Structures are given as structure tokens and as C-alpha cells.
């Protein structure tokens, strides 16, 4: 019997068993219930499309540590995004050095030699020798708000060097200004706050030495004081809030292909991303730019905690991306595997992560977490190993070595395996066969498809074998950000909820895309330095994610069985008692659904509905972000009612059962 047929039979038997064993609360209704995953809908954050540096990570200076280099982009070098300035006919020298850095992990810094500070009466500005950084397409600055400047400097002359730190418009209008003077011949951190006297979307940071002397500088940083939850080294408030509003149950991070990297040297190694920012190991991003890793593991875990989401770090399965070395999307010949004699050390790195996240402050790695400001454990529960890797013998051998040790030492951790980049085909089959054989608890599936495919596959998980590994649909999207894409995803998510007993988790991908810096065209949230565009896809995700349940009810919502454009689900959140109906109409005309809530002992008539609707080709843009937005209104709930869904719509009705 082939896998699919066997799966269908088992699924059918399970369904029958479920239907007869678990009845909804009342006999007058035919509704049947089953428990579904309490962690079904979450987020996947990958540092792609400038999602981290220049995006969610609120740092305003680009190339703050002078670590940009031509291996990342041919035209890049340590002074990229910096301008050497000598106003007032001043002169001096700037050089990039590596001999005595702030920290060996952060080798490049600049040396500024201020030889002459202009003193010509006809020059009306401030004369000096310095540097200017225009951030990620300039820096947005708001009147009255404070920006925290810091840098490491080492005075290399006998006399102190006086500096003026300012924020300026492109025309040189000063928006904020403070003075500093060096006082140490060792590397020392200097900091000051700059409060803006006017707003600008195109500010630059200017550091001007106004006295003769020599100094080295590195890790030059500017953060808005207002970050999400006011965290130091924190996140951009509007982007972080958009994620918090989704009430995701988990966040998978930091990728994606970013995790397994472009070759072994490019794998994402979590230990490089914790500790003081000047000690982190910056590296090339597989998506063609630079990662400061200022948004590192500590910040990811803290953000998860701040928004009540479970952290789901993904670690490389000791193999690099199969598309490494320029073999992108041609079938995976570039996978490289860590030598077997390095595996013990690599596995220890994974165990150390678990200790760092969950261990007591008295443990080696728990102490590092505490030193960073978080003595309480982070309650890590899930760990992903591998990202859509090519399922080769080298992969299997290394995955197994990691899995065996984690399972033995940390039975409390759920390990998530992987099954290639597509919903079928060689790696998918091999990945699942491997997972079945080795009883891997959860398998990560990925696919990006047309809306049509979504609509044709609404029942994909109905036939998955309930006795085998659970599914984490770690990456999925229909290709596009139009209403028709979002609604096809909504219909698909109904299928995920209906199968929430075998689909444990799901997350749309990718999450963020910065204007003019996008590598992946279909994304959930588009942004520039000051605005964000929440796509219809975002609203669909938010409406599902903020309205999750842990019990699924069948036979509550009825529709014309022959109409494949309609889909619906009913779940209950057992904590609040709220019953949540989700009704999707992916067609071009209104669709009637009948709702029978007689299985619920009590429902409160004052309910709320939220409707997202629009024409199939409508979409939001940064210029017009409000074309499609969900609208909330009061709804009068009764036990039996008919509901007319609008064409191309998602409706969520939330009904209280407890006063
Ligand atoms: O989400 C974008 C990319 O798609 C991810 O990095 C990768 O896992 C998948 O191929």
C-alpha cells in the first residue's frame, strides 16, 4: 500500500473514532470536537529583505563597525556608507586599521588624524575633520525625541580631541547637537543623548573633531530612545507592534536559508550573536548584504517573551544550504557538511543553547543569559534542526547525531525536522520517510504556490497519518500580495485549523521587506524608514492568529458542499470560553453559510465580527496602505443563523460563552 493511500485510510479511521468519541457539549447538536494545537499560528522572522539591520533592529547607523567588505558586495568596503568630511578647509587623514581593535571579533576600526582645523573667518559653519553616516537611506528624526549616540574611541594623541556630535539635514541644518571630549588612551565607550529640535526623514549623523589630534573610533551607534518596550539595543516600535498585534503563539528565527548559510563558514552560529554588540561576530548575509547580528539570539528571545510568543530557534543541521556557492535553485549541489570530527563540538553548541535559554543562573550558559539581563529562564520548548536541506546521507547522518543527543539529554525539547523546499518531490518524500522511520516529533514543510494551488489543496492535511510526525508548516504563501492571494491563504488556513490535530504550527513567509532592498517579492509587511504597509496577507494572518482556539468543532458551520470557494471553521479557546467562527469566501459572489451553535450550552448575544473584503486584484502599497483593511463591528449572536459572506472575504466572528 503506498504512503498516500495508507495515510488516507488511517486518517479516515481516526476521524471516525474522533467523531464518535468526543462530542460537543450538548446532545441536541451534531457538533463534534477535537483538541487542536494551542500553538497553531505563529510567525517566521528571517533576516531577508533588510528585515533586521535597517528594519526591525532600530539601529540608525549603517556599517557602524566598519565591517562591510567586498565579499558581501563587490563595491563594499569598511568605509561604505561613511563620508569623510573636512568642513572649513580643514585637513587630516582617515585610515582603516585592524592592529589594535576594540575586540578581535570586530577587527576593523578607523583612525582619524586631525592635522588642521580651518579658521577662516569667511567660513560660517563649524570647521573640523570628521565622518558622516546617512544610515539606511538616511535617518528619520522626530522633533522632541531623543536619540542615543554611543561609540568606542581611543585617543591616540597626547591632547584630548574635542568632538561635536550632531544630526543634520542634507543641507546641513543642525537638528540636534552635543559635545564630547576624549579622555582615555584606551578604548572607551562614550555616549550622549541627542534631542531633535525639528523633524526630518533624511537626517545624517555627523561626528566632527574640532581640535587637532588623533583618535581611533569604532562601533558608532545611534538608537532612537523609543524602542519597542524601551529595550536597549531594541526594536523599531511600529514594526514590532505590528507583530505584537498578531498575538503569535511562536516566532521561528532567524531564517530560512540564512540559517544554513552559503557554505559552512556562513552558517548562523548562535554564540556569535550574543554578548556586548562590539564582541559579536558580524557576517555576510546569504541574501546579499551584511548582518551586524545586533539583533541576535538574546534580542530574539526577549522579543518573543515581550509579545507572549514561544521562541523557535532554527539551527543548521551541520550542513550548508544546497544552493551554496551560486547554485541557487538549480537542484542543490552546493551542500557542504561539517567534518564528522567536528560534530561533538557542534552538538555541544546546541546543548549550550538549551542551557543558555533554560539553565539556572548557576550554569555556565545560564550565567551568560543572566549577565545579559535575564536571570529567569526563557522557557525554550522547540528547536528546529535544519532548514529545507537536501536530504542527503550526509544530512541524515548529522541530523541523527544531533537528534539523538538532544532527545537523550533534553526530552522536554521538541525537535523539528525538515522536508525540503517543496510540498512534494524527492526531498519531501525522503524527508518524511526519514522522519517516519526515526519518529521525529515534528517535520517542517515549506512551499510557495499560486492561489489556485492553495484552493485545490484545501484538504491536503485531511489525510495525513495522525500516528506519525506532526507538521510544522514553517513557510508558505501564495505568490502575491493581492486580495485574491490573501483569501486563498485564508481558505488554506481553514484547512490548517481543521487539521490542527496533525498540523501543530504554521507560519507565513517571508515576514518583512524593505522598500528598494527586497530579495523576495511576496512578503507580509512592506516598510520604509517611516511607514509600513500591512498587506491583505498580513490581515488574514492577524485575524487567524489573534483568534486561535485549542478545540476544533466540526458540523457547526454548513455550506453548499459543491461550492469549493467557501470554507469555514469553528474553534473554541478553552481559556476564555470564546467560540470563534471563521468564514472564507474566495468566490466572486456572496455565499451563504448556516451556523448551528446549539451544541454550546450558553452563548452571549453581544458578539463581534471582523470582515476583510475587497476586489480580487486590490492590494495595499506604501503609498496607499489603507485600501484593504479589516473592519470590526458588533454582531448579535443567536444559536442558529444564516450568514451571507461577501465575495472575496474573510469574516471572523467571536462569541463569548462566559459573562
Ligand atoms: O522565505 C524565503 C526563503 O524561502 C527561505 O529563506 C527559505 O527557507 C525558502 O526557500
Residue range 370-401, pLDDT digits in tens:
999 999 999 999 999 999 999 999 999 999 99
User: Which residue CA neighbors atom 1 of ligand 1 most closely?
Assistant: 510
256 lines ligand 1 (CB under 6 A): yes
How confident is the model over 464-474, as pLDDT tens digits? Answer: 999 999 999 99
Rounded Cα–Cα distance for residues 43 and 512 (Å):
11
Q: What is the pLDDT of residue 602?
A: 96
Residue pair 307/41 in contact (Cβ under 8 Å)? The answer is no
Rounded Cα–Cα distance for residues 466 and 504 (Å):
11
Residues contacting 263, CB < 8 A, separation 6+: 320, 324, 325, 334, 336
How confident is the model over 200-251, as pLDDT tens digits? Answer: 999 999 999 999 999 999 999 999 999 999 999 999 999 999 999 999 999 9
**Summary mean pLDDT of the chain:** 94
What letter does residue 52 receive in the DSSP assignment? T
List, in sequence order, every residue forming a beta bridge with 607; answer none if it has no partner. 635
Residues contacting 404, CB < 8 A, separation 6+: none
Question: pLDDT at residue 10 above 60?
Answer: no
In the residue annotation, 388 being an active-site residue is answered as yes
pLDDT-derived band at 29, boundaries 50, 70, 90: low
CA of 70 to the centre of ligand 1 (A): 24
Q: What is the pLDDT of residue 3?
A: 39
Please identify, by atom number, the ligand 1 atom nearest to the C-alpha of residue 520. Answer: 2
524 lines ligand 1 (CB under 6 A): no
Give me the mean pLDDT over the 287-308 stretch.
Answer: 98
User: Which residue CA neighbors atom 10 of ligand 1 most closely?
Assistant: 421
Q: CB atoms < 10 A from the CB of 293, how many?
A: 25
Classify the C-alpha dihedral 455-460-461-462 as positive or negative.
positive
Q: What is the pLDDT of residue 505?
A: 98
Q: What is the pLDDT of residue 332?
A: 54
Q: What is the pLDDT of residue 210?
A: 98
Please identify, by atom number, the ligand 1 atom nearest to the C-alpha of residue 258. Answer: 6
Distances (CA, A) of 508 to 256, 282, 461, 581: 12, 27, 17, 21
CA of 513 to the centre of ligand 1 (A): 13
Mutate which of 266, 422, 446, 479 to test ligand 1's pocket (most atoms within 8 Å of Cβ)? Answer: 446
Long-range contacts at 341-348 (CB < 8 A, ≥ 24 apart): 343/318, 343/398, 343/401, 346/318, 346/402, 347/401, 347/402, 347/405, 347/406
Q: Please give the grid coordinates belonging to residue 333.
A: 549541489
CA of 256 to the centre of ligand 1 (A): 5
255 lines ligand 1 (CB under 6 A): yes
CA of 387 to the centre of ligand 1 (A): 8
pLDDT-derived band at 19, boundaries 50, 70, 90: very low
CA of 257 to the centre of ligand 1 (A): 6
CA of 290 to the centre of ligand 1 (A): 17
Question: pLDDT at residue 484 above 50?
Answer: yes
What letter does residue 103 receive in the DSSP assignment? B
User: Which residue CA neighbors atom 5 of ligand 1 most closely?
Assistant: 256
pLDDT-derived band at 325, boundaries 50, 70, 90: confident
Residue pair 334/324 in contact (Cβ under 8 Å)? The answer is yes
Mutate which of 509, 519, 523, 524 to test ligand 1's pocket (most atoms within 8 Å of Cβ)? Answer: 509
Bridge-based pairing state of the strands 525-527 and 512-514: parallel
446 lines ligand 1 (CB under 6 A): yes
| Between 535 and 28, the higher pLDDT residue | 535
Quick one: angle between helices 426-438 and 393-409, nearest 10? 30
Question: pLDDT at residue 21 above 60?
Answer: no
Q: What is the pLDDT of residue 7?
A: 42
Please identify, by atom number, the ligand 1 atom nearest to the C-alpha of residue 448. Answer: 4
Amino acid at each position: 500500500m503506498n504512503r498516500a493511500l495508507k495515510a488516507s485510510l488511517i486518517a479516515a479511521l481516526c476521524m471516525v473514532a474522533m467523531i464518535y468519541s468526543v462530542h460537543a457539549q450538548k446532545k441536541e447538536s451534531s457538533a463534534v470536537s477535537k483538541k487542536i494545537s494551542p500553538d497553531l499560528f505563529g510567525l517566521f522572522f528571517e533576516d531577508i529583505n533588510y528585515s533586521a539591520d535597517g528594519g526591525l533592529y532600530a539601529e540608525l547607523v549603517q556599517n557602524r563597525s566598519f565591517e562591510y567588505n567586498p565579499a558581501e558586495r563587490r563595491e563594499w568596503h569598511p568605509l561604505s556608507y561613511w563620508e569623510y568630511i573636512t568642513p572649513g578647509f580643514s585637513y587630516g587623514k582617515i585610515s582603516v586599521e585592524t592592529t589594535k581593535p576594540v575586540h578581535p571579533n570586530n577587527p576593523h576600526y578607523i583612525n582619524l588624524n586631525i592635522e588642521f582645523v580651518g579658521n577662516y573667518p569667511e567660513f560660517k559653519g563649524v570647521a573640523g575633520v570628521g565622518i558622516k553616516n546617512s544610515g539606511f537611506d538616511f535617518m528619520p528624526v522626530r522633533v522632541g525625541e531623543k536619540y542615543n549616540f554611543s561609540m568606542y574611541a581611543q585617543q591616540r594623541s597626547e591632547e584630548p580631541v574635542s568632538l561635536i556630535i550632531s544630526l543634520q539635514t542634507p543641507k546641513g541644518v543642525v537638528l540636534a547637537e552635543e559635545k564630547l571630549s576624549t579622555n582615555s588612551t584606551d578604548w572607551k565607550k562614550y555616549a550622549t543623548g541627542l534631542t531633535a529640535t525639528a523633524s526630518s526623514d533624511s537626517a545624517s549623523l555627523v561626528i566632527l573633531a574640532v581640535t587637532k589630534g588623533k583618535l581611533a573610533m569604532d562601533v558608532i551607534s545611534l538608537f532612537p530612545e523609543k524602542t519597542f518596550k524601551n529595550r536597549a539595543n531594541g526594536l523599531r516600535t511600529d514594526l514590532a507592534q505590528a507583530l505584537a498585534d498578531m498575538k503569535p503563539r511562536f516566532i521561528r528565527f532567524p531564517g530560512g536559508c540564512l540559517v544554513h548559510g552559503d557554505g559552512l563558514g556562513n552558517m548562523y552560529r548562535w554564540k556569535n550573536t550574543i554578548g556586548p554588540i562590539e564582541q559579536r561576530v558580524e557576517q555576510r548575509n546569504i541574501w546579499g548584504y551584511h548582518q551586524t547580528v545586533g539583533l541576535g539570539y538574546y534580542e530574539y528571545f526577549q522579543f518573543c517573551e515581550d509579545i507572549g510568543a514561544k521562541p523557535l530557534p532554527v539551527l543548521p543541521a551541520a550542513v550548508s544550504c544546497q544552493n551554496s556557492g551560486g547554485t541557487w535553485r538549480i537542484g542543490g549541489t552546493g551542500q557542504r557538511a561539517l567534518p564528522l570530527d567536528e560534530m561533538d563540538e557542534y552538538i555541544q553548541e546546541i546543548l549550550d543553547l538549551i542551557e543558555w535559554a533554560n539553565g539556572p543562573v548557576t550554569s555556565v550558559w545560564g550565567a551568560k543569559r543572566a549577565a545579559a539581563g535575564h536571570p529567569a529562564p526563557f522557557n525554550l520548548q522547540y528547536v528546529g534542526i535544519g532548514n529545507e536541506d537536501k536530504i542527503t546521507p550526509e544530512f541524515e547522518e548529522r541530523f541523527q547525531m544531533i537528534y539523538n543527543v538532544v532527545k537523550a539529554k533534553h526530552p522536554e525539547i521538541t525537535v523539528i525536522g525538515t522536508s525540503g523546499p517543496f510540498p512534494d518531490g524527492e526531498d519531501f518524500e525522503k524527508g518524511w520517510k526519514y522522519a517516519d522511520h526515526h519518529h521525529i516529533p515534528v517535520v517542517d514543510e515549506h512551499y510557495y504556490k499560486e492561489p489556485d494551488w492553495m484552493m485545490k489543496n484545501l484538504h491536503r492535511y485531511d489525510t495525513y497519518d495522525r500516528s506519525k510526525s506532526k507538521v510544522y508548516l514553517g513557510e508558505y504563501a501564495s505568490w502575491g500580495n493581492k486580495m485574491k492571494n490573501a483569501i486563498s491563504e485564508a481558505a488554506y488556513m481553514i484547512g490548517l485549523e481543521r487539521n490542527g490535530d496533525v498540523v501543530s504550527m504554521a507560519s507565513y513567509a517571508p515576514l518583512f521587506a524593505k522598500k528598494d532592498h527586497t530579495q523576495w517579492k511576496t512578503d507580509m509587511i512592506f516598510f520604509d524608514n517611516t511607514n509600513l504597509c500591512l498587506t491583505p496577507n498580513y490581515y488574514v494572518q492577524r485575524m487567524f492568529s489573534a483568534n486561535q482556539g485549542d478545540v476544533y468543532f466540526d458540523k457547526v458551520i454548513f455550506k453548499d458542499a459543491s461550492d469549493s470557494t467557501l470554507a469555514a471553521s469553528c474553534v473554541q479557546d478553552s481559556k476564555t470560553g470564546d467560540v470563534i467562527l471563521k468564514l472564507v469566501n474566495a468566490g466572486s459572489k456572496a455565499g451563504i453559510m448556516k451556523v448551528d451553535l446549539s451544541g454550546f450550552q450558553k452563548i452571549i448575544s453581544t458578539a463581534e465580527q471582523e470582515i476583510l473584503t475587497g476586489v480580487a486584484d486590490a492590494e495595499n502599497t506604501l503609498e496607499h496602505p489603507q485600501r484593504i483593511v479589516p473592519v470590526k463591528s458588533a454582531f448579535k449572536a443567536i444559536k442558529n443563523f444564516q450568514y451571507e459572506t461577501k465575495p472575496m472575504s474573510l469574516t471572523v466572528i467571536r462569541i463569548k460563552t462566559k459573562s
